[in-house]
Structure 1
Amino acid sequence: MTDALWSLIAFVLTLAVLSYAIGDNPLFRIAIYTFIGISAGYFAAILIDQVIIPRLITPLLSPSASVGLMAIPLLLSLLLLARLSRRLSFLGSLPMAFLVGVGAAVIINGALFGTLFTQVRAAGLPFTPAQSSPSGWLTGIVLLFGTMTTLVYFQFTGRREPGKGIVRSPWVEWMARIGQVFIAITLGAFFAGVILASLTVLIGRLDFILQSINTLAP
């Protein structure tokens, strides 16, 4: 009985979401608000259960806890809650600055070590002795050339000429156009992957609807 009830709820919510195909309507809004509310509650429960309690409350209640060290995140959290008040919102500037600074550092670190350095290493990997082969060399040349031209595409410095503004040198302009082709191919492949993933989800939902109709039909 419980499984049938949840299947019915999922069936109704699926139809409500798919009803957006005919335009915005109250059923779609109810489904979206339900999804947002459940997601917010779920993530709040996960945050309390896996972050706040084990990393803040439990250490504070421990006899060997360093209260001074644990008081720092507690104080920052309380100051962050002060942003809910207009009069006390200025108190939340410190934790917000801390969050933005740490977030920026993490993003920059990830961009450097997870993307830039990895891309540089991957561009030179086909030219190593272990990868030396005609196909490897060809792949390496295309990869290296695509990386260079793509980076040149985002180079916007040049000479300032009267009436023309900033003008890049001809070879930079030529490489930038080739880099634009590589960018277009990459974005096209990425978009195709998104479309395929969306179609897979849609087919799964349509199959679920058909199965639900067969199950719920008398």
Structure 2
Amino acid sequence: MMKHCGPRVLAGLLMLFSMATIAHPHSFIDMNTTFIAKDQKLVGLKMVWVMDEMTSADLLYDAENAKSDSEIWKQLAAEVMANVLAQHYFTDIYRDGKPVKYLNLPTEYQLSRQGNKAVLEFVLPLSEAQPLVGKPFKISTYDPTYFVDMSYQDQKALQLPPEMAKHCELHLMTPKPDLSLKTYAMSLDKSDSPPEDLALGQQFAQRVTLTCK
């Protein structure tokens, strides 16, 4: 019988990170994103989040040896996805200085196992298709508290389908916060929360720029 994980749930993805180390960040998500286009318009992002082994421990314990298509995995996927949605996918999308809106529900999602790691896959759909040609899209995915490090290993973790690759370019920028900010982040205990106005996670967040001509 599945051991319900509800009591361990904290706000947002923090429900996954009960087994933390001493300093920020406590948990790590390795991201991969594929852009989705139709009729020369951007319609969504296909995201794959691979969680570190410590972060994944509770989820994989609850799933035990259940098959990937079992009700246990479906229930766990729904719980995790609900928390991601509560934090607006942890993602900001801007164009010409204005936020690009997206739908409150993914068009698809699933949770699976990759060895000792849990993998969340979902499609973030834009509320309105955006013409590819025009001002660049600027996208950041991050935990505002920097409790979780959400990052791309390199630009190869960003993919364009063939029809977009012909006239679109991607650029991944990884910020280099100053030493004082790094020292402050490392000084935070697992029970500490940085002040909201500091926007700690945003200062460490990578920025993806999509430009099409």
TM-score for the superposition, normalised by structure 1: 0.23
Structure with the higher fraction of residues in helix conformation = 1
TM-score for the superposition, normalised by structure 2: 0.23
